[in-house]
Every structure is written in C-alpha cells, then in structure tokens.
Amino acid sequence: MPIYIVILGAPGAGKGTQAEILSENMNLPHVSSGDIFRENIKNETELGKHADSYMNRGELVPDDVTIALIRDRLSRPDCKNGAILDGFPRTPGQAEALDKMLAEFDGKVDLVPFILVKDEYLIERLSSRWTCKDQGHIFNDKFNPPKEEGICDFDGSELYQRDDDKPETVKNRIAVYLEQTSPLIEHYRSTGVLKDINGARKIENVAKELVLALQFMEEL
Ligand code: AP5
Ligand code: MG
C-alpha cells in the first residue's frame, strides 16, 4: 500500500524544509502545491497566470484548480509508493477531495505531522528565507545559510526571495491559514492521524521528532 504523509503548519513553520528531509529519508516524492504553482509562474503557463494573482495577495488559489493539480501530480508513476504532501490540503474541501482520490489509489492519509511555531518566529523566518530558482531548495540567512551566499548548495542555481514573503503578504497568509486551514488540525486529530511536532527548535531536532512520529504511524 502506498504511504501518504501530509505536513501541516502555518506559513514559515518549516513544512518545505522538513518535507525535503523526509522525502530523502523515506524515498518518497515531495509534493508541494506551492512549488508546483511557482514552477508554472516561472514557465508562464495559463495555470501560472491564474495562480499568480492569488499568491501575490497571500490568498488561496481556488479549490477546483488546486485539487486537479494535485490529482494529476499524485497520478504520476513516481508517486506509486506514496508521497510527502506539503501545502495540500489547505481547506476542508481539499481534505475531503484528498481522501477520495487516495482511496482510488488504494491509500489514505497515514500521518499528519503538525508543525507548531509561534507567529513572531514565522515572520522572522520568512523575511530571511532564500529559495533556489531551479528546484525550490530552502535556505535562511540566519538559521540555515547556504555555503556560498546567493547560491544553492544542491544545484548551484541562484537564490531569490519569494514575492509573497513581504511582511504585509505574510500577515495575510497567516490570517488565511488561521481562517481556512487551521480547522484541519482538529479534523485530523479526530481521525487519529495527527502528531504534534514542536517546530520552534533547530531544523535537525525537528527532523528527529518527525522520525519518532513515523514510529507512531507504524503503531496506528
Ligand atoms: P506555500 O508555498 O505552500 O507557502 P506556505 O504554506 O505559506 O508555506 P511556506 O512555504 O511559506 O513555509 P514552509 O512551512 O514551507 O516553511 P519553510 O520550510 O520554507 O504556498 C504559497 C501560496 O501558494 C499560498 O499562499 C497560496 O496562494 C498558494 N497555494 C499553495 N498551496 C495551496 C493550496 N493547497 N490551496 C490553495 N492555494 C495554495 O521554512 C521557512 C524558513 O524558515 C526557511 O528559510 C527555512 O530555512 C527556515 N526554517 C525552517 N525550519 C526552521 C527551524 N526549525 N528553525 C529555524 N529556521 C527554520
Ligand atoms: Mg513551503
């Protein structure tokens, strides 16, 4: 049976950072809805043009578009053993659609690590984040600097600051998260798959707690 892990947390909580580590450790693809949208914006596709205006305002892209995008991604052969989902689902409608599509793939949401970080740290982390242009690898001036300034350690591409990391947009992203995404915390807690993770520690210590969460998943 395929394994699906959904990483939940506010903007800047460390979803992408931990999903990259977990993806490598578990040999499962990292599926980030935000990364797929950014790739489409870079390539100037119709989807990219549609998503850009929502992302720039820190609003969510409509459910129908986002669900179709994730369905397409999870249907690809590299996801046959499952995936690490980051940034999806983000609304109750997306969570319901995910359950239905995973059932079609003979799977289910197996584990939801919920990375909790206080708002003040989120803003600090996002204002010092640098992202790689080519593959979206994540760095931070203060907490996880690249070996060479402005260059990705993994693929040598240029690092840039995301447009939606401006303080006003970050504040709206956090508000949107609280209003539309945070109901998923109680939803997944009630289905027994949620595991609380303290995200306010060093990246490697958060990663260690995630490894423990995988043991919790095996006990389910
Ligand atoms: P998305 O790209 O998903 O952004 P997000 O959820 O706002 O989350 P971020 O990527 O900003 O944060 P993260 O939790 O991944 O943190 P990271 O690991 O980078 O979505 C962007 C937009 O796309 C949305 O606003 C929406 O418009 C659209 N969208 C995407 N999915 C959608 C969906 N399902 N439905 C509708 N619309 C959707 O870490 C942040 C920084 O902190 C980094 O610099 C990192 O190095 C650093 N850091 C990480 N961990 C630690 C640590 N433990 N200690 C110190 N620093 C740390
Ligand atoms: Mg991210």
Sort 26 into a burial class: Cβ within 10 Å, 0-12 / 13-18 / 19+: middle
Q: What is the C-alpha to C-alpha distance for residues 124 and 155, in angstroms, rounded to an integer?
A: 26
C-beta of 54 in contact with ligand 1 (< 6 A): yes
Q: In total, how many domains does the chain have?
A: 1
135 assigned to some structural domain = no
**CATH code of 198's domain:** 3.40.50.300
Total residue count of the chain as it appears in this document: 220
Q: How far is the CA of 175 from the centre of ligand 1 (A)?
A: 14
- pLDDT at residue 215, rounded to an integer: 87
Q: What is the C-alpha to C-alpha distance for residues 161 and 186, in angstroms, rounded to an integer?
A: 33
Q: What is the C-alpha to C-alpha distance for residues 40 and 50, in angstroms, rounded to an integer?
A: 10
Q: CB within 8 A of 215, min separation 6: which ones?
A: none
Q: How far is the CA of 169 from the centre of ligand 2 (A)?
A: 15
C-beta of 143 in contact with ligand 1 (< 6 A): yes
9 assigned to some structural domain = yes
C-beta separation of 91 from 99 below 8 A? no
144 assigned to some structural domain = no
Query: SS3 of 137, please?
Result: coil
164 assigned to some structural domain = no
Sort 214 into a burial class: Cβ within 10 Å, 0-12 / 13-18 / 19+: middle
- pLDDT at residue 95, rounded to an integer: 98
- pLDDT at residue 39, rounded to an integer: 95
48 assigned to some structural domain = yes
162 is catalytic: yes
133 assigned to some structural domain = no
90 is catalytic: yes
Q: What is the C-alpha to C-alpha distance for residues 157 and 132, in angstroms, rounded to an integer?
A: 6
Query: SS3 of 55, please?
Result: helix
C-beta separation of 29 from 83 below 8 A? yes
136 assigned to some structural domain = no
Residue-range definition of the domain harbouring residue 69: 3-117+181-219
Whose CA is closest to 2, among 113, 114, 98, 137?
A: 98
Helix axes 92-104, 63-74, angle to 10 degrees: 30
Render pLDDT for 131-181 as a digit per residue (tens, 0 to 9).
999 999 999 999 999 999 999 999 999 999 999 999 999 999 999 999 999
Closest-approaching ligand to the CA atom of 70? 1
The ranges of the chain with pLDDT < 50 are: none
The share of the chain scoring above pLDDT 70, in percent, equals 100
- pLDDT at residue 219, rounded to an integer: 74
C-beta of 87 in contact with ligand 1 (< 6 A): yes
C-beta of 34 in contact with ligand 1 (< 6 A): yes
125 assigned to some structural domain = no
pTM value is 0.97
